[in-house]
Amino acid sequence: MTGSGDNPLVTEARYRPVLAVRGWSTTLNAIWRDAYGDDYPEDVEPLGFSTLSELELMRRWLGVGPGESIVDLGCGRGGLGLWLARATGASLVGIDIVPEATEEAARKAQAFGPAVSARFQVGDFRHTGLPGSVFAGAVSVDSVWMVLDKVAAIREVQRLLVPGAAGYSAPGSQPICRTRASWRRAAGRCSPAMSLHSGTSGSSPFTRRSFAPGTS
């Protein structure tokens, strides 16, 4: 468990009670379907606010294809990464700190069909246990703000990517990073104080001060 004492509001696994529920809320689906209309990614069942338009933006920014691999950090129930794997033909590795999330993601992968190559495993955003310099793209949505040590998290992402690879990270629907070099520069600019807390919303001081949208 990573966190601060026993306070569930500052632990990185704070969404475990939600992710541990097998299946998904039909009521929540209906609300988001009504709000987003045709832009709602039905088979993704996002816990956050990702739309089909944002998923398409991720696909274009990542620029990956068959024979390459992408990593989804803080993958949750896996739908977002699975959509990208299906859309690009790249293979997927999903990492989440919550065991129930990766179990549900593995079940969801079956619904995306055998053409989608994906595996999911429990891991810490800062210490994934994955080999370095192997991924052509990295994505993390609605996750970075929950990581207590953001400097270590960004350095881990940079370690995982091959030279020139693209990354997409967003606290909500606002992209904040695009390339491996951007991740490296951001990690170098972070102060220790900025790495301790992200607050309770996606627009943390860390994301506003350490990333520049469109940086390459």
**pLDDT band at residue 20 using 50, 70 and 90 as cut-offs:** low
pLDDT > 70 fraction of the chain, expressed in percent and rounded: 67
Q: Rounded CA gap, 99 and 41, in Å?
A: 24
Cite the DSSP H helix spans in 9-122.
16-19, 26-36, 52-62, 79-88, 99-111
User: Residues near 99 by Cβ (< 8 Å), separated by ≥ 6?
Assistant: 122
Say if residues 43 and 112 touch (Cβ distance below 8 Å): yes
Q: Which of 42-56, 58-72, 177-191, 195-209 has the lowest mean pLDDT?
A: 195-209
User: What's the Cα-to-Cα distance from 136 to each of 4, 38, 142, 163, rounded to whole Å?
Assistant: 33, 30, 21, 8
Share of the chain above pLDDT 90, in %: 39
Residue 177, pLDDT > 80, answer: no
Mean pLDDT calculated for residue range 164-168:
83
Domains, the chain, in order of start with CATH, read 23-210 (3.40.50.150)
Claim: this prediction has a pTM higher than 0.85: no
Q: Calculate the alpha carbon distances from 96 to 32, 101, 120, 143 in Å.
A: 24, 7, 8, 10
Q: What tokens does 146 get?
A: 């929950």
Give the chain's mean pLDDT.
Answer: 76
